[in-house]
């Protein structure tokens, strides 16, 4: 009987000890605060995160927005280029602290990621060579074509969900910039990318002056920052900063530089 009582007492003590350890664990935001830096997972694409003409300085809407938010929170912004296919793995392993790169909110991602307030309203659009304008005036005319999008992206989701585009010969690409190259080279007939990128990358004075956007909204979506799951303190702190920058006009000023005022969601 004494042995049973001693065993029960030991178990109770162990449970109390574990509970004490658990309660003393740092929150995700405390972990970030203690480091004094936010490691931001990105890919390179205009107008969100990209290099200037010299190829040395990272610029873009998300780049400047992230720096402004980090300044508000007293953190140093550090940008890290990642493989978009493994973004959630990078986040959960703490190789990065957030995904901040035109990151689209959807129900599947909500199961694995905590999202901030949304700040940009975006859509997916088809792009083609301008010489093919009469051949592909709309989505209905694109059945069976060779088509590309960034793998695991909103563009890929839009293709697979569309009645016509889902019948096409689809090729996933590592990045949206690769989609532009494939369409330009003629390797594929149609690409599907973010409207904000298409608007910044295609047209007179760009490297893709021979491409055009087809007037068709495949999806409507919102951009937000992705954080580790179950990190409410982190989301709360960043939402406060985002709202403050929206209220004082900083967010609008950054959007004006990158022609995104019409896409602001705050």
CATH number of the domain that residue 174 is part of: 3.40.190.10
Residue 107 within a domain: yes
Peptide bond into 47 cis (omega under 30): yes
In a domain, 2, yes or no: no
**Phi, psi (degrees; rounded to nearest 5) at 103:** -85, 115
Same domain, 159 and 172: yes
Q: Do residues 110 and 126 both lie within one domain?
A: no
Instruction: Tell me the C-alpha distance between 30 and 215, whole Å.
Output: 46
Task: Residue 182: give the domain boundaries.
Answer: 122-221
85 confidence band (pLDDT: 50, 70, 90): confident
| Residue indicated by tokens 């000890």 | 17
* Total domain count, the chain: 2
Helix (H) or strand (E) holding 241: helix 232-247
The rounded distance, in Å, linking the Cα atoms of 182 and 179 is 5
pLDDT given for residue 23 in this prediction: 38
Note whether residue 247 is domain-resident. Answer: yes
Residue 21 has pLDDT above 80, yes or no: no
Q: Do the domain assignments include residue 165?
A: yes
Q: Are residues 114 and 230 in the same domain?
A: yes
Indicate whether 247 and 188 sit together in one domain.
no
CA 121 to chain centre: 12
| Mean predicted confidence (pLDDT) in 218-245 | 96
Mean pLDDT of the residues in the chain: 91
pLDDT digits (tens, 9 = 90+) for 177-205: 999 999 999 999 999 999 999 999 998 88
Whole-model pTM: value is: 0.78
Backbone angles phi, psi at 148, to 5 degrees: -140, 155
Q: Are residues 44 and 134 in the same domain?
A: no
Which is higher by pLDDT, 72 or 154?
A: 72
In this structure, the answer to whether residues 78 and 95 fall within a common structural domain is: yes
Q: Is residue 45 part of a domain?
A: yes
């Amino acid at each position: 009987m004494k042995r049973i009582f001693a065993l029960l007492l030991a178990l109770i003590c162990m449970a109390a000890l574990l509970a004490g350890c658990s309660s003393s664990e740092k929150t995700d935001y405390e972990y970030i605060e203690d480091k004094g830096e936010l490691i931001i997972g990105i890919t390179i694409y205009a107008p969100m995160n990209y290099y200037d003409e010299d190829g040395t300085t990272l610029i873009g809407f998300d780049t400047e927005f992230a720096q402004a938010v980090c300044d508000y929170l007293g953190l140093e912004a550090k940008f890290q280029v990642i493989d978009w296919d493994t973004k959630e793995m990078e986040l959960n392993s703490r190789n990065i602290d957030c995904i901040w790169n035109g990151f689209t909110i959807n129900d599947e991602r909500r199961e694995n990621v905590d999202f901030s307030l949304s700040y940009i309203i975006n859509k997916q659009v088809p792009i083609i060579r301008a010489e093919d304008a009469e051949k592909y005036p709309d989505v209905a005319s694109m059945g069976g074509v060779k088509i590309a999008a960034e793998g695991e992206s909103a563009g890929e989701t839009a293709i697979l969900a569309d009645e016509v585009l889902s019948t096409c010969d689809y090729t996933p690409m590592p990045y949206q910039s690769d989609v532009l190259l494939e369409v330009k080279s003629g390797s594929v007939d149609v690409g599907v990318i973010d409207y904000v990128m298409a608007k910044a990358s295609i047209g007179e004075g760009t490297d893709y002056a021979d491409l055009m956007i087809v007037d068709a909204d495949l999806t409507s979506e919102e951009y937000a920052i992705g954080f580790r799951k179950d990190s409410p303190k982190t989301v709360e702190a960043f939402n406060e900063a985002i709202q403050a920058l929206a209220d004082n006009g900083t967010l609008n000023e950054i959007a004006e530089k990158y022609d995104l005022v019409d896409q602001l969601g705050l």
